[in-house]
Amino acid sequence: MSTLTKPNHIGRKISRIRELRDMKQEALAQALGTNQQAVSAIENSETIDEAKLIEVAKALGVTVEAIKNFSEEGMINYFNTFNDSDNNFNHYNTCTFNPLDKLMETVQENKNLYERLLQSEKEKIEYLEKLLKVK
């Protein structure tokens, strides 16, 4: 049975939110200070007492209202807004520089640093050789 046929099934809503947050039952159990079987029981329950719901919401990083009002349709509508042509989210995803150019700049910078280090070492060796000849 889906959450669409039983819209007030709190356990399924918790399960879906947990899945959307890419969290396993074991991780939620650890956050609640319980075991995986207890989380499974919570997710299979149609109702949950308010105190436990507050704990679960805190562990999931959402509000109690978010759990109570969660719906698959609402999530689909939320994510579809990212594809609307009138918002500018996609504007920020375009790259204004060529990443390969940046990589080559870094390679050239490393090469220059290495050459300076090598020159410094050569000067140090020359200086030490002069000191040895003097003595």
- Can you tell me the mean pLDDT for 110-114? 96
> Which of 45-49, 83-87, 90-94 has maximum average pLDDT?
45-49
Distances (CA, A) of 83 to 21, 77, 80, 89, 93: 21, 10, 6, 9, 13
Tens of pLDDT, residue by residue over 3-26, are 444 567 889 989 988 988 888 999
Q: How far, in Å, CA of 53 to CA of 46, rounded?
A: 12
Locate all alpha helices (DSSP H) within the chain, ordered by sequence. 10-20, 25-32, 36-44, 50-60, 64-68, 72-80, 99-134
Check if the beta carbon of residue 16 is closer than 8 Å to that of residue 72.
yes
Q: How far, in Å, CA of 58 to CA of 87, rounded?
A: 31
Tens of pLDDT, residue by residue over 25-84, are 999 999 999 999 999 999 998 888 899 999 999 998 888 888 888 877 776 666 566 555
Inside any domain, residue 66? yes
Confidence at residue 67, expressed as pLDDT on a 0 to 100 scale: 86
* 104/1: higher pLDDT: 104
Confidence at residue 65, expressed as pLDDT on a 0 to 100 scale: 86
Phi/psi for 23 (5° steps) reads: -120, 135
Phi/psi for 3 (5° steps) reads: -70, -15
Residues 58 and 25 in one domain: yes
Residues 42 and 67 in one domain: yes
Confidence at residue 1, expressed as pLDDT on a 0 to 100 scale: 45
Confidence at residue 40, expressed as pLDDT on a 0 to 100 scale: 92
pLDDT over threshold 90, residue 119: yes
Residues 80 and 14 in one domain: yes
Confidence at residue 72, expressed as pLDDT on a 0 to 100 scale: 74
Residues 55 and 106 in one domain: no
Inside any domain, residue 1? no
**Number of Cβ atoms within 10 Å of the Cβ of 42:** 23
Q: How far, in Å, CA of 85 to CA of 114, rounded?
A: 49
Residues 15 and 80 in one domain: yes
